[in-house]
């Protein structure tokens, strides 16, 4: 027995595709902003280190681990 499957219609689902494209564009923009903020955060932490603060000092102030500060500094 052979079953015929109906090919979905793009026009019937045009609104869903439009929403999907909109969500995708927003996600890409948010990822770009997150990269910019991570770079800004890295630069600010590096400034504090350059002024003599230890990674542990910064970690305590931010309520994160010293390892988290290390990772933030290591990010490209």
**Three-state secondary structure readout of the chain:** CCCCCCCCCCHHHHHHHHHHHHHHHHHHHHHHHHHHHHHHHHHHHHHHHHCCCCHHHHHHHHCCCHHHHHHHHHCC
pLDDT at 5: 76
For the whole model, what pTM was predicted? 0.75
Q: How confident is the model at residue 75 (pLDDT cuts 50, 70, 90)?
A: confident
CB of 21 closer than 8 Å to CB of 27: no
Whether the pLDDT of residue 76 is over 80: the answer is: no
Q: pLDDT of 8-60, one tens digit each?
A: 888 889 999 999 999 999 999 999 999 999 999 999 999 999 999 999 999 99
Greater confidence (31 vs 7) lies with: 31
Locate the domains of the chain by residue range. Answer: 18-74
């Amino acid at each position: 027995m052979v079953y015929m499957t109906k090919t979905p219609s793009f026009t019937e689902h045009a609104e869903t595709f439009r929403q999907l494209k909109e969500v995708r564009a927003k996600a890409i923009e948010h990822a770009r902003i997150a990269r910019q903020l991570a770079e800004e955060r890295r630069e600010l932490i590096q400034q504090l280190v350059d002024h003599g603060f230890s990674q542990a000092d910064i970690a305590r102030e931010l309520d994160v681990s010293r390892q988290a500060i290390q990772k933030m500094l290591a990010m490209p």
